[in-house]
A and B are shown apart, each in its own frame.
Chain A
Amino acid sequence: MFDKRKLANIQEENEKWDKTTLPIWTRNHPERKSNFHTTSEIPIRRLYTPGDVGDLDYLKDSGFPGEFPFTRGLHATMYRGRLWTMRQFSGFGTAEQTNQRFKYLLKEGETGLSIAFDYPTIMGYDSDHPMSTGEVGQCGVAVSSLKDMEVLFDGIPLNRVSTSMTINGPAAMLLAMYVAIGDKQGVSRNKLNGTTQNDNLKEFFAQKLCIFPPKPALKLSTDIIEYCARHLPSWNPVSISGYHIREAGSNAVQELAFTLADGIAYVESTLERGLKVDEFAPRLSFFFASHNDFFEEIAKFRAARRIWAKVMKDRFNAQNPRSLWMRMHVQTSGCTLTAQQPVNNIMRVAFQSLAAVLGGTQSLHTNSFDEALALPCEDAVRVALRTQQLIAYESGVTDTIDPLGGSYYTEYLTNEMEDRAMRYIDRVDAMGGVASAIEKGFFQKEIADSAYKYQKEIERKQRTLVGVNDYTVERDWIPCKLLRVHPTVEEEQISKLQKMKKERDNKKVNEALDKLHNDADKERNLMPAIIEAVKAYATLGEITEVLRNVFGEYCELIVV
């Protein structure tokens, strides 16, 4: 990027500075630590200069926004045109309660919906299953059938919002319910806009909400990718997720690398179905965490786009420029929230979301300050949403594209993130791909080791957590009443479910479930049969049970 003579000159001056100005200062003002590094162990130098990015080839490595390799942003105008989607992950209690929360958030300026389901729903159990005891509506909204989904979207026209659903094992069932609601509202299937997380691979080593063994789990993910490519052109069938990898304890490089490795696995699996890469790649989407280490996070987002564009172009020979796009959703990191002095979390979330915006995200969830203690109360979630609005409308960072592009440090870290992630991806390839790496417990071990190391650093005070291992107070203060999900939600939900089961046409339900069983046996794409089943009001649990019978259940590989 710089002319060689000038670079040499800078280098010379830098060495001079190292011998003169620097030691004179450090003699009386020593540095705070003997070495500095990012959370991923990337050493941080005292100062970055053009010499650190001397090899950077602007056109090849940075390029222009909207052009390969997309380091500076996916779109030609970025936030000068359209801001990111403000999408708050929410759900608790009954469908009625969550419907109210959705409407509240939309009124307050949220621009997209994101559903948090309760654990029974996530695990494919109805609210009245014995395994659901005590869990119904606790950590998300309970959805056992299309009936609940109808209530959830009451008064919300699907042609006016996009909806993200954090659902994996039973993603096909929830997508089918969404399609059914769209049909009822008369919204064309071409117009259904949203995302199913549907990333079953990361479940095996990060989020660990697995229902089926790896092979059928990947088959179901691929069914959705294939079905959407053919029938739901505006739907993002999968959100390849690093968020849970990070929350389980990985560092930023591991998050980046393992997510991209999963992405490669989905592309390969869909190609095996006979689809051409450009038929489905434009709709693959990604999901990352934004953690505390500000510049490392920004570099991670920039590197992620660059690596994916290269992978799609070079490894998969994609031709459509959109196949090279890494569109991402970002959530601020839940595991950085502290139960101590919870109001401090507002600042953490602000820095993390600023990093996501400076990293060029398409969509953002900001955590609420009370979330280390409970699901967020209405006041806390409003502050979280306002944090995004402050960045968008007050800070000025949205007025130019990729404002940190060209910063010596940011570019250096972006290169480092790419190099280190690619080394991991090569290792995964050498192991025979993601499935073998999971079987060997490779990701699980890497993540558990990083989590333990991070914890030990906090306990040894090598890492300061304000309010936790330093600057503590005797009495915590929280300016809101924590949200509690009332235990009566469970009874209410069960009685509604049982009433629905009596009222529906049970003959039709059984026929639909038999058809599903048959399609699963014959290894057909299961989306059409699942859509028919949910429309007949077969429950989530009933559909999952059919598939459990055909596919078997996953047994956890425990790696401590």
Chain B
Amino acid sequence: MPAARKIRVLIAKPGLDSHDRGAKIVARALRDSGMEVIYTGLRQTPEQIVETTLQEDVDVVGLSILSGAHTTLFPKIMKLLKNEGIDDVLVFAGGIIPQEDIPALKRIGIKEIFGPGTPTGTLVKFVQENAKRKK
């Protein structure tokens, strides 16, 4: 039996903020757990993130924002993904996201939002359990 395809994850930093400590730690933790991880680097526009999602054929997209721009940029990304017909990619997010914003973000399709202090093990488990691996 051929080895199962590894889960492919895109860790993306939309917006202008440069707090990449969390994104890099998440990228490394997912990679160490056996996934293939692509990290976009800073300051990606929603268009660039969706473009990379398509080109890299990823199963999972993790978004990180700490500046407060999530209320504008996350909906934009989700809309662009939808426009491209991408509905089988698991999207999760992290950063400084106020509790009161979470229900609206979940409604637009972000499966989970992880706040500061989340153990990387929780994330790994979440991705393993929720990613729909493409054939």
Contacts and interface: CB of A to CB of B under 8 A. Distances in A.
B17 interface: yes
A183 interface: no
Contacts of A338: 116-117
Given A131-B45, A339-B116, A560-B24, A138 B67 contact: yes
Given A208-B42, A482-B98, A487 B72 contact: yes
Nearest to A209: B18
A469 B116 CA distance: 12
Contacts of B43: 123, 131
B34 interface: no
A469 B117 CA distance: 8
A340 interface: yes
A125 B69 CA distance: 15
B103 interface: no
Contact of A123 (B16, B73, B96): B16
A560 B121 contact: no
Interface in A95-112: none
B129 to A, nearest CB: 19
A207 interface: yes
Q: Which size bracket describes the interface of A in this complex?
A: 35 or more
A339 B115 contact: yes
A446 interface: no
A271 to B, nearest CB: 30
A187 to B, nearest CB: 33
A131 B47 CA distance: 12
A247 interface: yes
A134 B72 contact: yes
Interface string A130-147: 011111001100000000
Given A249-B21, A335-B21, A138 B68 contact: yes
A208 B98 contact: no
B52 interface: no
Contacts of B24: 448, 451-452, 560
24 contacts: A123-B43, A125-B16, A131-B16, A131-B45, A134-B68, A134-B69, A134-B70, A135-B17, A138-B69, A208-B18, A208-B20, A247-B21, A248-B21, A339-B115, A339-B117, A372-B96, A451-B21, A459-B119, A459-B120, A485-B68, A560-B24, A560-B27, A560-B28, A560-B37
Interface of A: 119-120, 122-123, 125, 131-135, 138-139, 207-209, 247-249, 335, 338-340, 372-374, 448, 451-452, 455, 458-459, 465, 468-469, 482, 484-485, 487, 556, 558, 560
